[in-house]
Amino acid sequence: MTKFPLKTGNLNERVLSVVVFSLLFAWVLAFPFEGQILYALTGVYQIEPHHMVFGAIAAQLGGLFLGGFFIKTIRAAKRFITGAVLFCIALSAVFLLGPSVFWLPALVAGSFLSGGSVAAWGFYFRSGSRKGQRIKTAADGLAYSNILMILLNIIAVYISPELGLIGAMLCLVLALVFLRKLPEDDCTSASPFQVQQGSPVSMAKPLAFLCLFVVIITINSGLMYQVQGPAFSHLKWLTGWYWAIPYIAALMIVRNLPEKTNRSYLLYVAIAMIGFSFIFFWVLDRSAPSYLVVDTLMLGACGIYDLFWWSILGEMLDFERNAAKILGIGLSANVLGVLLGGTIGNAITTAGLSGSDATLLALAVVCVTLVLLPPLHTHLTMLLKTHAFLTVFSALPQQEQNDRMQRVAVFTVLSQREMQVSALLLQGKTYKVIAGELFISENTVKYYVKNIYSKLHIQSRAQLIELVSKQKNAIPRP
């Protein structure tokens, strides 16, 4: 079923895709997505940036979310990214001509197109890296784009905003150059996998749950931008470049952990870091050392979380034909969280609350999100484990499925009919489908399932899967 042309994957395509992504994303981070170049330009001309920033983030959200609905093949992805990059170069040039009514629409259009491009890049994210290695690809892309962003920010803040913008446009030009070398044909792309086709197992539920998880966490990021960021605005000499350093460091640390490390524990470390970040923000002054403490904790946590869901999205790409859809929808949740957090933060600051009141309120929001996270994470892990199991099991030949089920000791209490129903449950089929296959009514299936769960002392399909997974050799590793 699957072929692996090279044990290490196709290095060239991987490197190229990382380079293209880094260059494109650097432009996004440095310019439209609350970038320092945008703030510097609007600062020079004394323009209020908030409505532009909000519009750009919303457009980015739209582009990410909708990208996958229009871009369905790797060829379309390449063409879209090429067109979008050219357009973004032209739109950026508008900002070199001085303030005009075209600034806002140009920013919104550029953000939308760049969002769609990031979603489209999902095809290269999948084809360029083999499963299990995508966390490294994601870490590399995010790290390099942030490094480039820092350089562009330094230029924009310390030298000239226009020069920073030209630097960002140059990144886009380079992205175009490297993009030409990426394959555009599904057959010729070095995809080591054959994507599950016609799989009965849907990605919708795990993806929806992951999105919920991401939105809830990234609300904290949005809050940080609106509450913590302005408090240290007097330290521009530091905030202009240090801001993303802890983020990059966290990415590199997590990227280089041994493969067998259980990265899930890091999520709880990151939760604690976010909490402490806001606590220190509340109790410390607004000096440079305080900024270092607060920013290191917050951005370090952001790095851990960003890599967490990027890598999950990366693994999910193999279960869905349209990689742009999975990556786009997943990342749009990230942007939505930032938007929501920013809105809450903006509401807090414009309500005219005192500094400590605003911080306390922000901390309360953080606490609520942190309380929701452990059960969400548990459920997400269960969903993903269930999904991974269902997909692997359903791909096995029928005889092998039966053999593996026979090996599971607990199933000896089930009758043959009940085993039949269990096997179909383990294939991820719905009650309706099971009823159709066994020529019985859906109601009958429900009663069979209830009885099976009762005999096995479990309560759900997920627990049935866990029961089978616990049996050694019951299921092959993906």
Partner 1 sequence: MKTIERRVRFWAMLFCSALASWVILLVSCFAPWEQGTLIVSLLLLSCSFIFAVLMWKAYQGLKIARLILENQLLCIRPAVVMKSEGDARSYTQKGGLAVYVSYFGILLGSRIIKFNQDGIRLRAVEIGPDSLLLTYGDGKKTESIRLLRAFLNQNEMKEITEKFRYETGVTPLITD
- Which stretches of the chain bind partner 1, using CB under 8 A? 413-418, 440-441, 443-444, 447, 450-451, 454
Q: Rounded to an integer, what distance in angstroms lies between the CA atom of residue 396 and that of residue 393?
A: 5
φ, ψ at 122 (rounded to 5°): -55, -35
234 vs 417 by CB, closer to partner 1 = 417
Least distance in angstroms from the C-beta of 270 to partner 1: 44
Q: Rounded to an integer, what distance in angstroms lies between the CA atom of residue 467 and that of residue 471?
A: 7
Q: Rounded to an integer, what distance in angstroms lies between the CA atom of residue 478 and that of residue 470?
A: 15
365 vs 414 by CB, closer to partner 1 = 414
* Closest CA relative to residue 371, chosen from 208, 246, 219: 219
346 vs 451 by CB, closer to partner 1 = 451
Tell me the chain's radius of gyration from C-alpha atoms: 24
Which CB contacts under 8 angstroms, 24+ apart, belong to 411-418?
411/456, 413/455, 413/456, 414/452, 414/455, 414/456, 417/448, 418/448, 418/451, 418/452, 418/455
178 vs 448 by CB, closer to partner 1 = 448
414 vs 465 by CB, closer to partner 1 = 414
Least distance in angstroms from the C-beta of 431 to partner 1: 14
Least distance in angstroms from the C-beta of 437 to partner 1: 15
17 within 8 A of 124, measured Cβ to Cβ: yes
Least distance in angstroms from the C-beta of 441 to partner 1: 6
336 vs 445 by CB, closer to partner 1 = 445
149 within 8 A of 35, measured Cβ to Cβ: yes
Least distance in angstroms from the C-beta of 10 to partner 1: 51
Give, in order, the Cα–Cα distances in Å from 390 to each of 307, 395, 476. 25, 8, 11
Place of tokens 């993009």: 179
194 vs 443 by CB, closer to partner 1 = 443
Least distance in angstroms from the C-beta of 357 to partner 1: 48
Amino acid at 423: A
* Closest CA relative to residue 68, chosen from 79, 59, 57, 76: 76
Least distance in angstroms from the C-beta of 453 to partner 1: 12
